[in-house]
Structure 1
Amino acid sequence: MHHDATAEHLLSIRPATAQDNITALTQLLHRAYQRLGKMGLRYMAVDQTEAVTQERMAQGTCLLAFYQGSLCGTILLRNAQQTNGCPWYNQPQVASIGQFAVDPDLQAQGIGWRLMQAAAQLARESGAKELALDTAEQAEHLVGWYQRLGYRFIETVQWGHTNYRSVILSLKLHQETPEVRSL
């Protein structure tokens, strides 16, 4: 993972607020998912409405990434209580991420990795033991990237709103253990 030291301080990540621009966020999702849409994969984010963006944001904690002050990425963390819908997601210790996007012009610069790290930290703080996600089986570039980040295959699932079978991938969240100090 090569991180551009100059870009590092120009990137900020924070939870979304009511003041954030839903139109800009929805347009970012459309741009980021366009490649998947062209592959024939009907991800919700390919063409979801602003109302759907807001509904999905309300399902968990929506993080936004800004590069030099401009919106460039997003990820939605659902804690274990907010995660459900398939056997793995229904487990009490499993949190999940979704609605994950980085502006196509800024991909492969560590922004997605930073968003994933921020979501994992929030999941850890919420008490989750696993952080899961799902993506299209055919999106091999994404499946490979998640696997390089340490995610492992769990199961496949067919969601009602998609035209593809999804793979559920999950990462074991190692709880940071407090340092043992000798008295």
Structure 2
Amino acid sequence: MVIRPLRPGDSLEALTALLHAAYASLAAQGWNFTAVDQSVDVTRERLKGAQGFVAELNGRFVGTIAIRGPKPAGEAYIADPPPALYTTPGTAILSQLAVHPDCRGLGLGERLMDAAEAWAREQGFKHVALDTAEPAEALRRRYERRGYAEVGRVQWQGKTYASVLMRKRVGGGSPE
């Protein structure tokens, strides 16, 4: 298994299919995460300005993650204005973490997060931020074990759940 940056020629259709497979168990719990049924065009839009990473096994995508710098205040985050955390200078935004159900339990999610956090550090970001469904306790605990702390909440338009905003320090400089 190899984790590598997403390349321009990589199939966004295959990446979108991976997202659908990985998020199906969350959909079954009633949580309509964007990645549950996003189109290839939405995948493309969510990757705009981001560094995507993929985990490949025998030529097949089995994991992915995306990370990018802060959003400009006027730029939409999917369909909503971004929360202040996502426009804060020095803060990278983590999204679309997905591991194919056949590959869960192998530490792949941790390796993908390591790659994204390393990229953020190398780019000079001080923090990495993310959001996840408030009722998704297992996901929240996973992020907390990695050093993420809850710093706020957001209600995304059309979602069946409220989300928690989480942040982790990854870079140097004075602590905040």
TM-score, shorter chain, exceeding 0.5: yes
Instruction: Name the counterpart of 1:40.
Output: 30
Q: Is structure 2 residue 27 aligned with structure 1 residue 30?
A: no
Aligned Cα root-mean-square deviation (Å): 1.8
Please list every run of at least 4 consecutive aligned residues from structure 1 whose deviation after the TM superposition is greater than 6 angstroms: none
* TM-score w.r.t. length of structure 2: 0.88
Name which one, 1 or 2, has greater alpha-carbon Rg. 1
Percent identity, aligned pairs only, is 41
User: Of 60, 65, 87, which aligns to 1:70?
Assistant: 60
Q: Is structure 2 residue 106 aligned with structure 1 residue 106?
A: no
Instruction: Name the counterpart of 1:89.
Output: 86
Distance in 2, matches of 1:89 and 1:58, equals: 15
**Where do 5+ consecutive residues of structure 2 fail to align?**
none
**Where do 5+ consecutive residues of structure 1 fail to align?**
1-10, 176-183
What is the letter of the counterpart of residue 12 of structure 1? V
* TM-score w.r.t. length of structure 1: 0.84
Distance in 1, matches of 2:106 and 2:72, equals: 30
User: Is residue 24–residue 36 contact of structure 2 (8 Å, CA) maintained in 1?
Assistant: yes
Deviates more, 1:80-89 or 1:92-101: 80-89
SS of aligned partner of 1:18 = coil
Aligned residues: 166
What is the letter of the counterpart of residue 153 of structure 1? E
Deviations 1:125-166 (A, max 9, x none): 111111011000011110111111111111001112422110
What is the letter of the counterpart of residue 136 of structure 1? A
Kindly state the Cα deviation for residue 12 of structure 1 after the two structures are TM-superposed: 1.3
